Structure 1
Amino acid sequence: MQVAIIGTGFMGVTHVEALRRLGVGIAGILGSTEAKSVEAARELGISRAYKDFDDVLSDVTADAVHICVPNAFHYAYAKAALIAGKHVMCEKPLAMDSKQSAELVEVAKDKSLAAGVCYNLRYYPLNLQAKAMVAGGELGRLFHINGCYIQDWLLHESDYNWRLHADIGGPLRVVADIGTHWMDMLSTITGLEIEAVFADMSTVYPTRKRPAGGGATFTKAGDASGEDVTIDTEDYASILLRFKGGVKASLYVSQVAAGQKNALRYEIYGAQKSVAWDGQRPNELWVGERDKANNILIKDPSLMAPGAAAAASYPGGHAEGYPDTFKQCFRAFYDYIKAGDYAAAPTFPTFAAGHREIQLCEAILESHRQERWVTV
């Protein structure tokens, strides 16, 4: 397989590194300008720098396209790549609204191509272990789920990034950017589908300071004397969720939580046991008991369920983390392509999963605006 990378920022580089660890070839890379394409190709040791997106589509050596650009471009790029006969792995969210994402699901189906959305965080080995425990009945009947995904990289008024603007990133920011990761993870772990939501959101800074040249993700605060810009997306959201079957959940997400760099957490409570996991300590799964001592399972393939062990590339005591989730996500994607049976159930996050997350986002936004429960 040979892959064309679209985007030269944080995600583009992350995709390149993960693909190389799998032995998947990089056909070329495209930046926002030809000069950025050339610079990225030189820095990353990639042989081809694309001139523009048409250059990508005409590259017969590129079997697949990885889309790692601002959200507003996802729909058009994904659709064009599928029509050109290329498999697609797209960063989330899949599109700007559910009408676009629904169309992409159908295009992928019509073209009989693999089409995935990079909900990579479900691939932490201990998340898959929790999934196996739930499926095996170890937790018993599920009662409720709690969790959060919180960061601080937009804490200051002078912190700035393109994601802040609805016309580029979509009408929801923190929910779409990180909240959908949590919802995808918990739906994957429990096997349950969210059927209704009740949300309350807030924008801490109605205006922010935009530095000259814009800003980047996860950097130091910008110049406080920058240009004032109006912000039309949320910094924080608290969400109540109902899963089919009656399980209740609560989730809060924030990008203005001082000191929390990338805190992704959940607690799942059942009639027999509970499990809890923290993405900043990804190699530990807490298992709670009523009638005997609690314990912590340290990531160790020899002690884990087969499906979870398969996502752990290193033995017990050898930590695995964030970059490894991309590797495992892409492994599932390219193993599926290699098998060649597109009628088989996909083992990776599909465009249908991406479409579902956008439907959830739209229901959450409607709930916030109308201050009521909304059925998805």
Structure 2
Amino acid sequence: MNEGKPAQITSIPDEKKESGCIPLPLPDSKQAFCVALPISGGRPIKLMGDNPHDFISFLKDSSVAWLNFPVKDIKKDAEIIAMSLGFSSSLAPTILSSYLSAYEDRDTEMGLMLPAVAVKKFDVLISPILFLIRKDLIVTIHEENVTRLVRLSRYADAFMRKIKPTLILEDKLTIILTRLIDENINRNFDHLRQIESQGDELSKILMDPKSPRGMIAPEIHNMKHALISYMDTLWATLDVVNSLRHGDAELISDSPKLLARVGILSDDVNRHIALSEHMSDVLASGLEVLQSIYNNQLQILNNRLALVMTWLTILGTAVLVPNTIATVLGNAAFDMGPKDQGWYLTLIISSTIIATWAAYWWVNKKGLMPKVVE
């Protein structure tokens, strides 16, 4: 026996786990929160607890409730929490096996997964939020670094109080679910500003001619990758919201008024997608302009260097011709003396001038003389 190892859920048959014959291990979670409308009516009631068993008797006296669980490892603890609260053992693993988002309807229970986004510089951190739904309960499970629903729990009794006791359970569930999804969508959108501010900082770096060019290309790639990752989460969220908006699931309301709320969520996500794409276009165009300026600066520098090289070539040609003449006439075979000084200097000077003019004329005629544009 390995006493130091935790109990393995997968080794226990599903029928025994669901029947409660074998006790389930406790999840590794922070303090959970629950708000519920009592069956007898009246104001919403709040309860804090450390594990699912703390809420079971409380939920029996509730007409509808929202239970939020922050955990350290959602893949390990979600199944434990779900089974402890009466959900099927395969629901949580099935949802978590999807990428970014998931929608699972099993008539008497439902499961959703939505991405929660956090942005640090150009690092887009995506964490899943699990929604488990049955006729009188919505359970949200997320990792401890996701705090948006924890903050919302402070005002949970306020929006629960607005739910009319006369509504059917499907309507109550839909109202709570849309409020939770709306909170996640809005908090995701807040992090788009982080990407925007980092894009502005990158623009400042590009404007500085002294910035090391080796760091610019990776930063531009990181910014584009951050935008793409963020856009992926928006599209994933839209898929789930669109699956809900038609009200096909048994646990979702058929009320046109409440389904219109889901439609508003879909419109919000579409608007966020449009704004994100617009921001991407603005940042991309700005970076292209700055890159064009940088390229123009490099082109001006290259033209100046080419102009210097051209003039050096002309001067070299101009010096080469008289130097060749002087070398030839300086040979002893010509027997030159002081009496030849006048015509010799005239020949050297005139050949220098003619060679310089001829080299410049040929370079200019061939269009090899670079033009520097400031």
Same fold, judged at TM 0.5 (above): no
Higher RCO by CA contacts (8 Å cutoff, separation 6 or greater): 1
Whose strand proportion is higher, 1 or 2? 1
Greater C-alpha radius of gyration = 2
Whose helix proportion is higher, 1 or 2? 2
Give the TM-score of the pair, scaled to structure 1.
0.24
